[in-house]
Structures are given as structure tokens and as C-alpha cells.
Amino acid sequence: MSAARLLASILTLALLAATAFAQSALKPVTFSDTRLNNGLRVIISEDHYAPVFAIAVSYAVGSKDERAGRTGFAHLFEHMMFKGSENIGSGEHFFLVFNYGGSMNGTTNTDRTVYYEILPKNQLDLGLFLEADRMKSLAITKDNLDNQRNAVQEERRLRLDNQPYGKSQERFNEMAYDNFAYKHSVIGSMEDLNAATVDDVASFFRTYYAPNNATLALVGDLDTKTTLAKIEKYFGGIPRQPAPKPVDLSEQELTAERRESMVDPLARVAQINMGYRIPPATHADWPALSALGQILGGGESSRLYQAIVKDKELCTGTGAGSGARIGPALFNVTCSVRAGKDIKEADAAISEIIAAAHATPVTEQELQRVRTSARRSAVGMRESALTRALTLADNAVLYNDPNRINTLTDRLSSVTAADVQRVARTYLRPTNRIVMHTLPGAGTPPAPPSPQSR
Amino acid sequence: MPRASSVVSCLTVILAGPLAGLLVLAGPALPVGPLAGLLTLAEPALLAAQESPRAQQPTDFTGVQLKNRAPISNEVLKVKFPRPSESRLKNGMELMVLEEHRSPTIQVEIAVPASSLNDPEGTAISGATASLMRLGTKTRDARAIAETLSALGASISFNISDRYAYARFSTLTENLDAVMALMSDMLFNPTFPQDELDKWKNQQLSQLQQVRSIPDFLATERIAKAMYPDDRRSFVLPTAESVKSLTRDMLVAHYTRIYRPDGGRITVLGDVRARDITPKLEALLADWKGAGTKPPQLPLPGPIKGRTVILVDRPNSVQTAFYLGNRAFDRRSPDYIPAQVMNRVLGGGPASRLFRNIREAKGYTYGISSGFAASHYMNMFTLQTSVRTEVTGEALREMLKEFADIRNTPVPADELENAKRALVASFALSTENQATALSNATQIKEYGFPADYWDTYPEKIAAVTAADVQRVAQKYVPLDDLVIVAVGDGAKIRKVLAEFGPIEEWDAEGRRRTTP
């Protein structure tokens, strides 16, 4: 430790000790949690700070539910939800929301699909009507399907096929899983997107877009009782459907490291993706894994940043973190290798940092940073009605635990050094690891006849 | 997709130019959503009540089918902006405090007159100086700073824009004193360590290579050079040569010149009372005196004459990334307000014509939007989209058709009302966080607007007519006078692009090609 650092540490402690303000306890997010007769779970949290409200409707369906030959379908279906229903024309949904001062979107991942709007408070009926009408009566036509197939294929090109590291990221995900449920990408293959039919849409809608497979969360400037009555009016008549068959997400334990490399013609510097299989977000070890992710790769004070970006200068950026899924997830480590540096050296340096987490417990200072960060995130989440609505709806649909919005902070804050060391040893083993090296294929081409650089 | 921070999002190449904010770095791990690719162009916030009966005459809303059966409130919420308290510190700096006690956080911004546009062309001096201020003081090294910030749950940043040099921090209320002490150490005692500068330069040089793989960057680079070829505004990023040539002495000298308080302004937002933060700031800044540098006067030339197609050849591309534009007006122009309404009709958001036609009806793209950049230095209209290579020509033709339509035909009454209402009604959403109110208050000072500028904004929007919209469209939506930047696979799109105008070709390294 340099003299400057030593002094700095002392000063930091002095500053922390001198802090006059007491840390105020965070107010819990309070909410009502009810079910309509048709099985729709309804969560309402009043907040009269601003004249707005947010709606989130989360459906328990994601790319995990897709069958072979239909990858990308859950997300393609999400796009169909904006193409009209009995009382809403194609595209009228976003036309109305934006023209009346709101904002909206939807998003799909492996485990769930969620739709949301944020609107001025006087548009409560509009928001509820839009969500109810499409849950009740989606318009399923070949034209709409073909049209959104195009948009989704452009999305794939934009995010994946036309970007550096897109293809290797997709391959990395395939390497990480053996069970089809998580092995394929959320965006899906072009071929499978082309194969999707109107019948697929109809049967997917019937099976998964039933009220008993969804949670509706509202947060904002509204009255719980009258809102519930409106919800009953708009959603109450939508019939319940047989519960979808749960998908088997289980994986055989890995017994040897999986490692590949790929040349990417769009990339100019190398990149490392590492993943370690970890349990679902509901597992008792998850908070400790989350803390470990932050200690290893969260920001400039993290071990990886200090070692491989600053001290050794092998990478220009790095990150680490625990994925949150209802099934087997990944603890990810990424690094963008500095131009001219050896990717093998960077790979070895990352492994060294991980080995150190096996050998020695993390420090109290590191755990304190985890706790501060958890508090900061909890504060940030409370500042937006939309974030709260999304968190409540997802926690209900994914974990059957909307109150996770309040308990997760405490669980993260009570992680101990022994917990972190134990999970590092348990999960961050070389034999439990998937590694992808993306090698640059785009170089500086030979100089053209008479370059005029500017 | 995995939640781990994507490497692309770790890109911290310093964005040196005024156009830098337009650059959107798309990572592979972004969420998948139907509108996620949309650029969100900031709308000015406003407040109003306005009854707008739904129009009687049928309008062709291409790409959208309206059944008009959803229950809608025609009331537009009146929302009153809180105003920050204003005072002056003993050293002459203006202080604006907007209290918001909803949540235990405080954000402070210290801004002093300065400009990265004063840097010699292509240089990284302002960016380097600001970055290095985070990497060492007389009593703390870079690691100690990072660890302290992390322990406090705070962030501190320095930045030199085209108009101000900034020091900013954001903190939990309980750590205010500690974070202020740390920020003042970084602001007043930076040491610009040689080894940190060396490392910073190495990182930048690698990232300057990496960013050339991203189509949006390549498009932004070319549009900046096309719009402002003659001055520092043409640089979105510094050149590698200028990064290499930086020395510690240059940074120290730059810092000493730039970070001076005269003419500066401090804004405070959050969970602190004005009477509590003021003495703290007085104590912190008591010895800070003197004048720094002034932002330059730069010409704001009108639209570029003629049509140019700038092709950036990026082999292996499967899409063509378009950036269409021309110079327009600066923020003080009276055309600003009608142009906001016009753009809402044309390309501002998913209810706009460009989105409805080119994404919804034609399926050429995932996202498309247009907007105006209007400040003291930037005045541009731009359209951004990416389309699959095969429809490059058809998509461009449709965009130009929309440009021609809004120039040639008055906007139908209901479409105009939708646009005006959307601009006013969306203000309610920005009241969740008072940052908009504070930013509106600083804009009044920045551009010398009357004090009631935002109070009367709804009336100004309401007064915009179809004729106003057509007038500003003809003036600023470029058609014959237009710069078209297209980043894609040259072999596949060169021929079709030539149908739209004379082609000027560049490679992905930023080098002009004389004969394609």
C-alpha cells in the first residue's frame, strides 16, 4: 500500500466517522395483493407524489417455453400484442399512449414477458382497457404476423448480426446449456422466425396469455379501492385457462470446462466471456453470489478492474455479475482485451483473481460497499413508479414473492465473508465454467490509393 | 440475456465533441423489446390544459388502424413547475437549489464557463484533463478515490462540454459531508499522476480502435464532419495522434486555466434545504476565485446547399445505418416551438409518420426517429435508422417521401392536435423527478428567455398552426439540400445509393476514398 493510499484510507475512515447524518431507514414499499376469480393476480401500490401511474403486466412465459423449430417465438409474440385486439386497431395501442402523454413498451427474456405503460393519472381507464382488451381478444392475422416478423428480424440484425460480439455472445449462450429451454437465444434464429405461423400465435395466446398466468401491478397516483373495481370491470370477464405445463429447466452438472474461440469479422479487439453455472435467483446462495459479482466486477473499485484494467492493463473494460433466473443461471465475467495484448494472458489474470476469492475471505470494506450499493439501488428503485411496478409484477410472476422488493436489500446486506468464500468455492470452479474468446477479424485494411485523412 | 454488464457498456472513450451525445452505443446484451431501439429525443416539458375534440375528417394514419373505442380522458393535466431558490455565493457564483425530499439523495452540479471547442482541432486535452481529475489528489491515489466513492455509494464526475466545465456529484443524504469533502479534494488538489495518464492514454487508444466497429459511431463521425467541417465541432472523438501527444504539463496547465469560478453556477437538487447546503458550499468554495476561459463565438451557418451521399464502407454489414440531416436553427430561434410540433408529426416517437410508415407499414426497420439538436453551437435536423441491406434504396426513398409530404401538404387537423397534445400532456411524466424543472430553470438563464418561458409554453404550443408546421418543414426538413450518411457494405449498396446523389466514399478507418 502506497503512503498516499494509506493516508487516504485513514482519511476515508475519518470522513465516514465524521458523518453527522444518520442513515434513514428505507420505507418499505407497501402494496395490496389480491386475485380475481379468473386467477389474475393484482398488486396495487399507491404513491401520490406525482400525477402519474405505471402499469406492468407480466406473463409467466418466455423463450424457455419455446419448442424446437420456433426459437424467438415468445418475443415475436410480444410484438403481436401491439397489433390490435377486438376494440383496439393495429398500432392503436402505442398511438394512443404516446399521443396522450404517456410512454410504453414490452420486453421478453427467458422466463417472462412484461408489458408496461406509464401515463398521466387521468388516463387510468385507458391504460387498463388497453391491457385488458389484448389479454381478452388478441387479433391474430397473417398480415400482422408477417409485418412484425420483419421488425423482429431487423431487431436481430441491429442487436446481433450487425454488431461486433453478437454472434459469439449467442454461441456462448448455447455452450452454457444442454437443455433446450435456455440453450437457444431469446431473439431466435432467422429460420425459426420465418417458420412461425398464425396457428402458433393462436395456440401460444390461448396457453400462456390467460389471466391465471399473469400478474398486473399498478403503482402511482391512484386509489386502491376504485382501481380494483375498474380492474374487476375490465379484466374480470376474461376466462381462466388450464395452467400451462411447467417446463423442465434442469441441467446435468458440468464435469469439464467448455471453451471455444470464434473469429468475428466485425470485431476489432478481442473479448472474453466467461460463465459459471449458478442456481436460480430463489436459491439461498444467490445473495452471496450477487455480492461476489459486485466485489469482483462492480465498478472501478472492484478487484477485476483494479487488477486487469489498471495494474496489468490487459483489458480496457471488465464486468462481473450473477444472472437472475428461475432456473440455472450464469455468473458472468467479461473483459474487453486491450489492443495488442494477449488474450491468453488476460484469461489467466481473470482466473488468478477468481482463485484468490477461493483462497481468502473478502474484506469487511468490500462487504460494506456491497451493503451501500444495495441501499443505493433500493433508493433508486423507489424513485420511479414504473420501476416499482415492474419489480412487483416480475417478483410475483417469477418467484411468487412480490415482497422480494423489500426483502432482497436485507438479504444482500447480511451476506458474510464466509458466505462469499463458500459460494466462490462451490460455483466458480474451472470445471463449472464456459469460456468464449472472440478474436478480431476486422483489421485495418491496406491503405487506399490516396487517403485524405481528416 | 445475461445481466452481467456488457463489455460494450464499459466503453469509456471520452466523447469530445458536441455531437458526442448523439452517439448511441448498442451492446449485445440490451433488453429485447418492440421499441427498445428507439432514440428518445428529449421533449421540452410544459404544462397546460387544452380540450381537443377528436377530429371529424378522416386522416390517413398510415401503419395504424384506429377503432376509437378506448376510454380516453381529453383533459390535459395542469402541472405547476416548482422553481428553484436562487442566491449568490460570496465568491460570486450563482446558486440554484431545488429541494425534493422524496428520497434520501442529493445531486450537485458546479459549472464554470469553459469550452472543449477551444481545444485545438482533434485534441483530447479537455477530455483528458477532466478524466484525470478523478485519478489522483495530493492525499489520495486513484484506487483510494474509487474505493471511497464505492464505500459512500456516491459518484463524482468531471467533464468539459462545449459551454461549461463541470464538477458533479450524487450522494445519499447521510454521506453529503463526506462526499463534498472528497469532491473538493478532487477539484482543488488534483495531481495528474504521470502513470495514470499513461494508462489512460493506452486505454483510449485501444477504445478508439474498438469504436470503429460500431456502425452508429461511424455514422455520427461523418455527419459531424459534414455539418461543421471547419472547426472543432467536427470531432466526435479525438484523434489517436492527439491522444499520444498529451503530456502531464499540458493537463496541469489546462486545469489551471479552466477550473475558475467567475461566471459559474451551482445547481442543487434533492433532499437538502437551501439554508443547510449554502453554508457548506460557502465553506467549500470560499478560496476559489478568478476567471477562467470563455466559450468561443462560432458561426451558426444555415443549411448546406445541395445533396451529398456519404458512404462509409463497412464490409460484412447486414444493415445500412442511415443518418440524414442538415443544419437547422439554434435554441433561441422562434422557429424552435413550431419545429417541435412539426417533428412530433414527422419523426418524434412511435406515433409519428416515419415510424408508422417505415417500421409498421413497410417493416424495413426496427426503429426510426428524427429530431432537432439546438443549442448555442449545434443546430441540426437529423433522422436516424438502420435497415436491412436489401431494402437500402426502398427505405431511403420512403424517408424522402415523408420529407416531401410534410413540406408539400398541410398537416391534417387531427394529426396536428395529436402532436400538440402529446407535447403538452407528456409533461406530467417528468414531474416524477424534479430534474426537468431544474433544467428548465437553467435553460431560461442559459438562453436569456423570459422568466415565464415555461409557464406560457403550453399556449405557445397551442398557437402553432398547420401553416406554421408547413413553413418550418419547408425551411428545415432537408430534401434537395441534404446530407445522407450511409454505413454499410459498400459492394452491395454503392450502386443504389448513387441514385440519390453524388457519392463521397470513406472507409471504416475514417479515410476518404478517391476512386471507389
Chain A, 154-173: which have a CB under 8 Å from a chain B CB? 154-155, 157-166, 169, 173
Q: Min CA distance, B478 vs chain A (Å)?
A: 25
**Cβ pair B350:A94 closer than 8 A:** yes
A27, three cell numbers? 420505507
**Residue B347 touches partner A, C-beta closer than 8 Å:** no
Alpha-carbon span B144 to A6, nearest angstrom: 9
Among candidates B152, B319, B367 on the partner chain, residue whose Cβ is nearest the Cβ of A162: B319
**Cβ pair B181:A324 closer than 8 A:** no
**Cβ pair A162:B418 closer than 8 A:** no
**Cβ pair B350:A320 closer than 8 A:** no
Give the pLDDT score at A446: 40
Supply the ipTM of this predicted assembly.
0.90
Sheet (strand A113-120) strand order: A32-35, A41-46, A214-220, A52-59, A113-120, A103-108
Alpha-carbon span A98 to A127, nearest angstrom: 12
Residue count of chain A, please give it: 454
- Comparison of pLDDT for B36 and A52, the residue scoring more: A52
Chain A, 284-343: which have a CB under 8 Å from a chain B CB? 293, 297, 299-301, 305-306, 309-310, 313, 316-324, 329-336, 338-340
Cβ contacts below 8 Å, chain A against chain B, sum to: 400
Q: Min CA distance, B169 vs chain A (Å)?
A: 14
Give the pLDDT score at B515: 64
Question: Are A36 and A240 within 8 A, CB to CB?
Answer: no
**Cβ pair A450:B69 closer than 8 A:** no
Span B148-155, mean pLDDT? 96
Chain A, 351-370: which have a CB under 8 Å from a chain B CB? 365, 368-369
Crossing angle of the two packed helices A417-427 and A364-382, in degrees rounded to 10: 90
Beta strands A52-59 and A113-120 are antiparallel
Span A310-339, mean pLDDT? 97
Nearest Cα residue to A64 out of A203, A284, A250, A189: A250
Sheet (strand B164-172) strand order: B85-88, B94-99, B265-270, B105-113, B164-172, B155-160
Alpha-carbon span A210 to A86, nearest angstrom: 16
Contacting residues of A for B356, CB less than 8 Å apart: 91, 95
Crossing angle of the two packed helices B336-346 and B413-425, in degrees rounded to 10: 110
Task: Name the band, by pLDDT with cuts 50, 70 and 90, for residue B78.
Answer: confident
Which residue out of A24, A95, A122 would a mutagenesis test of the B interface target, given it has the greatest number of B Cβ atoms within 10 Å? A95
Q: Min CA distance, B216 vs chain A (Å)?
A: 10
Question: Are A45 and A392 within 8 A, CB to CB?
Answer: yes
Question: Are B295 and B259 within 8 A, CB to CB?
Answer: no
**Cβ pair A318:B7 closer than 8 A:** yes
Nearest Cα residue to A73 out of A179, A209, A172: A209
Task: Name the band, by pLDDT with cuts 50, 70 and 90, for residue A363.
Answer: very high
Span A190-206, mean pLDDT? 95
Distance of CA B63 to the CA centre of its chain: 29
Q: Min CA distance, A324 vs chain B (Å)?
A: 7
**Residue A17 touches partner B, C-beta closer than 8 Å:** no
- In tens, the pLDDT along B92-134 reads 999 999 999 999 999 999 999 999 999 988 889 999 999 999 9
Q: CA-based angle B76:B77:B82, to the nearest 5?
A: 140
**Cβ pair A102:B1 closer than 8 A:** no
Alpha-carbon span B314 to B466, nearest angstrom: 41
Residue B85 has pLDDT above 60, yes or no: yes
Nearest Cα residue to B181 out of B165, B166, B193, B169: B169
Q: CA-based angle B170:B207:A307, to the nearest 5?
A: 70
SS3 B167: strand
Span B126-152, mean pLDDT? 97
Span A386-405, mean pLDDT? 98
Q: Min CA distance, B79 vs chain A (Å)?
A: 8
Among candidates A22, A91, A442 on the partner chain, residue whose Cβ is nearest the Cβ of B174: A22
Span B247-269, mean pLDDT? 97
Task: Name the band, by pLDDT with cuts 50, 70 and 90, for residue B514.
Answer: confident
**Cβ pair A125:B73 closer than 8 A:** yes
Span B461-467, mean pLDDT? 97
- What Rg do the C-alpha atoms of chain A give, in angstroms? 24
Chain A, 25-54: which have a CB under 8 Å from a chain B CB? 49-52
Give the pLDDT score at A22: 58
A225-240 burial: b if 16+ Cβ within 10 Å, else e: eebbebbeebbeebee
Among candidates A101, A161, A301 on the partner chain, residue whose Cβ is nearest the Cβ of B425: A101
Span B431-452, mean pLDDT? 93
Q: Which residues make Cβ contacts (< 8 Å) with residue A67, sequence separation at least 6? A: none
Residue A259 phi, psi dihedral angles, 5° rounding: -140, 135
Residue whose cell numbers read 455539418: B227
Q: Min CA distance, A453 vs chain B (Å)?
A: 5
A372, three cell numbers? 451501500
**Cβ pair A92:B64 closer than 8 A:** yes
Residue B336 has pLDDT above 90, yes or no: yes
Contacting residues of A for B368, CB less than 8 Å apart: none
Among candidates A106, A121, A319 on the partner chain, residue whose Cβ is nearest the Cβ of B10: A319
Crossing angle of the two packed helices B142-152 and A364-382, in degrees rounded to 10: 50
Task: Name the band, by pLDDT with cuts 50, 70 and 90, for residue B2.
Answer: very low
Give the pLDDT score at B247: 97
**Residue B53 touches partner A, C-beta closer than 8 Å:** no
Closest-CA residue of A relative to B27 is A159
Tell me the average pLDDT of chain A: 92
Span B310-339, mean pLDDT? 96
Residue A443 has pLDDT above 90, yes or no: no
Residue B4 phi, psi dihedral angles, 5° rounding: -55, 145
User: Computed from CA positions of residues A425, A430, A431, A435, in that sequence, does the dihedral angle turn out positive or negative?
Assistant: positive
Chain A, 182-201: which have a CB under 8 Å from a chain B CB? 185-187
Contacting residues of B for A129, CB less than 8 Å apart: 70-71
- Comparison of pLDDT for A291 and B50, the residue scoring more: A291
Span B187-203, mean pLDDT? 98
Q: Min CA distance, A97 vs chain B (Å)?
A: 9
**Residue A109 touches partner B, C-beta closer than 8 Å:** yes
- In sequence order, the β-bridge partners of residue A215 are A41, A58
Alpha-carbon span B70 to A310, nearest angstrom: 57
A3-17, A74-88, B28-42, B459-473 — which is least confidently predicted? B28-42
**Cβ pair B421:A382 closer than 8 A:** no
Contacting residues of A for B425, CB less than 8 Å apart: 100-102, 120
List, as one string, the DSSP characters of A92-111: HHHHHHHHTT-EEEEEE-SS
Alpha-carbon span B512 to B516, nearest angstrom: 10
Residue whose cell numbers read 463489455: B7
Span A330-359, mean pLDDT? 97
User: How far is the CA of B120 from the CAs of B123, B164, B268, in angstroms?
Assistant: 6, 17, 33
Task: Name the band, by pLDDT with cuts 50, 70 and 90, for residue A131.
Answer: very high
- In tens, the pLDDT along A9-20 reads 444 444 444 343
